[in-house]
Structure formats: C-alpha cells, structure tokens
C-alpha cells in the first residue's frame, strides 16, 4: 500500500488478503523501484478507525 492510503482504504486491503500486516511502499519516480518505508498492522487500523468514530460521536453529541 502507498503512504497516502487512508484508513478507510486500508481496511478492505486487510480483508481481501487476510494479512495481519501490510507493507507500506514508496516510489521516488516512474523508473525507480518501489522501496519499503514501513508497515501497518490490522489492529492499528482498527484502533485508529474506532478512535475517529468515537471522536465524531463525541462532537455530534456535545
């Protein structure tokens, strides 16, 4: 996945491949090979989405 992939975009990637961790890859140019810049774990995506939902609910309900 790319560094610009959103949480909402990442979750289906985990569902499709069944992985617990996905590589985050970047490419400096069209002729350059992709390089590993990090990883993201499924549980971290779920926690971040849950936190965002809780924050949204708190803002809506004062």
Question: pLDDT tier at 61 (50, 70, 90 boundaries)?
Answer: confident
Which two structure tokens, joined as six digits, stand for 43?
A: 């549980």
Q: Write out pLDDT tens, residues 12-52.
A: 999 999 999 999 999 988 899 999 999 999 999 999 989 99
| pLDDT of 6 strictly over 80 | yes
Q: Residues with Cβ < 8 Å from 12, sequence gap 6 or more?
A: none
Task: Record the pTM.
Answer: 0.74
Query: What are the Cα distances from residue 15, in Å, to 35, 37, 42, 51, 61?
Result: 24, 22, 9, 20, 31
């Amino acid at each position: 996945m790319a560094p610009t992939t959103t949480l909402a975009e990442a979750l289906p990637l985990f569902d499709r491949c069944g992985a617990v961790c996905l590589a985050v890859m970047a490419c400096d140019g069209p002729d350059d090979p992709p390089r590993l810049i990090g990883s993201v774990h499924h549980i971290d995506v779920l926690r971040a989405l849950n936190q965002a939902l809780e924050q949204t609910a708190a803002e809506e309900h004062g």
